[in-house]
Structure 1
């Protein structure tokens, strides 16, 4: 029996048809796909392509299938997770997953094409970032660049579903420069505060036009963080976990299903003692920033996870309440 498989719109280079809209089996695809440009990423190759059905440019992310141990039903778990997340996440500031197709040992994801990314904008000093630009990018990220200056969140390959307070995650997430202290100390239970910290690092980078905390190792990263923000103490850092009781009989029939457990910084798996740095006032680093902007930055870069603001809290802060605003 010949299995019919849907594949995406036609892609071409200058009008040549190289992909049929529907094929019966993937091996029928004999013509070699050619794309205009490609960019190697850590986990995939991204191509720039043309959707000849409506004459638009798209991005195609081709993911090679992993080994049998790493794959499920022939598709890499990372790819499955990204596809599932993006199918559920529909928002003007989140990249749109237009199509998915497979061929031989590859899975390809078709996205909106974005002209650039925020890293390129930050590094290009010929681009003047006004206070209104910075505010607009932060607002779109929190609500979350194409040629119209619209920022969209993308690359969800390492994203995780979040909900259960008891779920254990890996601490090896996020590029080191944007990794919060609890992750660097090996925390396996954490929340959305890890993303808020990363956003604070991005905001600082937008203001400085260079990476804010660019450590060469995890130890160096923690040292740089504490030199700027101060070294936490056991008294100042207490993380409260809600742990489900797995041994109700041992705890007694009247024990609640959830136990509130308070843990200090010294209980984290990879904790090591650091010199007590007093920290540097953010005003001394970001001399041109407004008080409202420094308040937001300080809330995002709070050392203690519980003190970090959420997206909802950040959007309600005075920084976004008043101008300047981007005209678009």
Structure 2
């Protein structure tokens, strides 16, 4: 046994793997414990042997970003080790997620609670963007919640670095219900504004307690968006008719859609409107959103420890790699099943394994 194998076995022996709490085509997540301390952890086992050409780019990206990004509102990576053909990520254990909070009708929460969840989400997102990373899969069940109420952004398998100059990227990212119109129209050059749209739809979902824009197909997603908010014009969104997959859609008048969330107050309505601008250049950045008057207006955000939480155990979660296959995943909402097609990254074969060894060192 070589030194690397001995070290990996030493790391593996540090943890006990328990019941499965998440599942996907290329990964499973287990509830585990640290043997020496009894601390609860989550162990994400990436099944490299299931991949056609070696280690998938999603696995490399997730490890890379979790090693680099350290913030109270981002899930912490505690250890990485490999056993046989499997790569294991040891993550801090988080009790539940925002989807479970929204779905649990027994929970009553107030505007101050929504404000707290939004503030934590935006703080984590601002840190991610400040470090030149797009998350590209923000949705309620990727916003996990710790026992002390702290919200943490998770699942970086579809994350991507971005720079000022911009580079060509796939438009097949972000679960459809939270995917912005520029991606639905096939944009290959885009910015952090795609994550901002996702946060905006999550904000509205927190208020309504149901998904805001729940399309069955990409075309249906656009139709539902424009029916709710009005069909954009060139004046609203310059250049959108030149996007690669642009097609004409039924014309709908501009609607004051924010009236449906009047319970959040005028400041909250204004924040939602600014996050959900059709033109990506007009959407607020995460840092600007955090300085919006919504967060200083009454009521003050609920302290995380006092936020309402579901009593039930966290149900098994569908992981991002399933979405790369475009397979149906139970959404956990009244709407039943949604096809969540996301990016299918290229695989790296042996070169990828060499990169992986460097990442895990």
TM-score, shorter chain, exceeding 0.5: yes
Residues 193, 283 of structure 2: 8 Å contact kept: yes
**How many residues are aligned here?**
282
Residues 35-64 of structure 1, C-alpha deviations (whole Å, 9 max, x = no match): 233321354211001111111110011111
Aligned to 2:303: 327
Q: TM-score, normalised by structure 2?
A: 0.74
Partners in 2 of 1:201 and 1:70 — Cα distance? 36
Q: Kindly state the Cα deviation for residue 287 of structure 1 after the two structures are TM-superposed.
A: 3.0
Match of 1:14? none
The reply to whether residue 120 of structure 1 matches residue 100 of structure 2 is yes
Q: Show CA shifts across 1:161-212 (max 9, x none).
A: 1214330100000000000000000000000000000000100110011111
Structure 2 residue corresponding to 1:61, chosen from 36, 44, 52? 44
The answer on whether the counterparts of 1:101 and 1:107 sit within 8 Å (CA) in structure 2 is yes
Q: Which blocks of at least 5 consecutive residues in structure 1 are unaligned?
A: 11-18, 23-32, 239-263
In structure 2, stretches of 5+ residues that fail to align are: 125-144, 305-361
Name the structure 1 match of 2:174.
174
Q: Distance in 2 between matches of 1:300 and 1:191?
A: 14
| 1:236 matched residue in structure 2 | 236
Structure with the higher fraction of residues in helix conformation? 2
- Aligned CA distance change for structure 1 residues 327 and 95 (closer, same or farther; 3 Å): closer
Over 3 Å off, 4+ runs: 7-10, 66-71
1:35 matched to 2:11: no
Instruction: Note the 1:242-261 alignment, pairs <5 A.
Output: none
1:315 is aligned to: 290
| Preserved CA contact (<8 Å) 1:283 1:289 | no
Max Rg structure: 1
- Helix, strand or coil at the partner of 1:36: strand
Match in the other structure for 1:135: 115
Q: Which has the higher contact order (CA 8 A, sep 6+)?
A: 2
Residues 236-286 of structure 1: per-residue CA shift (max 9 Å, x gap)? 322xxxxxxxxxxxxxxxxxxxxxxxxx11111110011221132134311
Determine whether 1:298 maps to 2:290: no
1:220 and 1:68, CA in 2 relative to 1: closer, same or farther beyond 3 A? closer
Q: Are the counterparts in 2 of residues 8 and 100 from structure 1 also a CA contact under 8 Å? A: no
Note if contact 1:8-1:99 (Cα within 8 Å) is conserved in structure 2: no
Structure 1: distance between partners of 2:14 and 2:38? 15
**1:103 equivalent in alignment to 2:83:** yes
> What is the TM-score when the length of structure 1 is the normalising length?
0.81
Q: Check whether the contact 2:17–2:33 (CA below 8 A) recurs between aligned residues.
A: no
